[in-house]
Amino acid sequence: MECFFWGSGMMFQPRYDSCRIVLTKVCALITMFDDIYDIWESADELEVLTDAIKMWDVTVVGSLPTRLQVGFLALYNNINGMAYDTMITQRKNILPTLAKVWGELCESFYLEAKWTKANYTPTLKYLDNAWVSASGVVILTHGYISFNQEDTIESLEKCHDLFKFSSMLFRLYNETVISSEEIARGESVDAISCYMRDNGVSEEFAREYINTLIEKAWMKMIKARDACYDVSAYPIIDVALNLARVAQSMYQFGDGHGAPDARANYRVLSAIVNPITIGRE
């Protein structure tokens, strides 16, 4: 349900029903692979898995445990299926593009997994990798190709900055829900811990600084949006803005995706499940 909520928030118009189905599948796959890289013990096995995804080669995973092979095949088969559907409907081979963004995402997951296993806290340049691992580029790339319009794959380059700052906002909003207990235990690499360590400041001060980065990222994304309007009226521009908005909503009261509380559940149910009551005079 949470995965469908993301897609509905990005593309709410009725005519984009097939796009929402695609994005729901993509968000579910991202969630699964994020968990694999977060909890899997063997760095060697994660390295093999990452190589297989970067090469998009099913033969590479033969040495991995069955569970990881199943995970890889779930990704491989679903993304190949999406590429096949696009080839039939749009006469475009988008598989190399999709494989590329998935490879970049899993490579960023792998780097963060190595940091966590080594108990290493990087500098705030961690965000150079973290905006990729936020997965916004993967989501928006799938959104881009699912519209079935005339834009070419090459024109994706026009959206680079827009995708980047939408993904950065996605990441920064996610960072704000890191709990004080997690920071104290050093359970994960996050921007707040990085800034605290870099500058010798309190958690409260670091959180305030992250909020200033959110404001700056919004300004940069608005500038990138305006630049895109000069070259394209493609609806992906609004989808990129909506991804940042949904991230703000999803992480407003905590981790509404990974650990939804009653408020997050109510938001999803009221938007998707519960009917709207229309009063009569």
pLDDT at 73: 97
Q: What is the residue whose two structure tokens read 């010798």?
A: 200
Mean pLDDT of 197-222: 96
pLDDT at 181: 72
Q: Is the dihedral of CA 21, 23, 26, 31 positive or negative?
A: negative
Mean pLDDT of 44-64: 96
pLDDT at 229: 72
pLDDT-derived band at 267, boundaries 50, 70, 90? confident
Mean pLDDT of 268-274: 87
Q: Specify the pTM.
A: 0.92
pLDDT at 231: 57
pLDDT at 150: 60
Mean pLDDT of 102-108: 98
Residue 182 has pLDDT above 80, yes or no: no
Residue 233 has pLDDT above 60, yes or no: no
Cβ-contact 25, 78 below 8 angstroms: yes
pLDDT at 156: 79
CA 230 to CA 136: how far, in whole Å? 23
Mean pLDDT of the chain: 90
pLDDT-derived band at 60, boundaries 50, 70, 90? very high
pLDDT-derived band at 25, boundaries 50, 70, 90? very high
Mean pLDDT of 111-134: 93
pLDDT at 196: 93
Q: Give long-range contacts, CB 8 A cutoff, 24+ apart: 53-59.
A: 53/99, 53/102, 53/103, 53/106, 54/103, 54/106, 54/107, 55/103, 56/95, 56/99, 56/103
Structure tokens at 199: 């500058």
pLDDT at 20: 93
pLDDT-derived band at 249, boundaries 50, 70, 90? very high
Mean pLDDT of 49-69: 95
pLDDT at 187: 64
pLDDT at 152: 61
Mean pLDDT of 230-250: 85
CA 168 to CA 219: how far, in whole Å? 12
DSSP secondary structure letters along 149-176: -S--GGGGGGGHHHHHHHHHHHHHHHHT
pLDDT at 29: 98
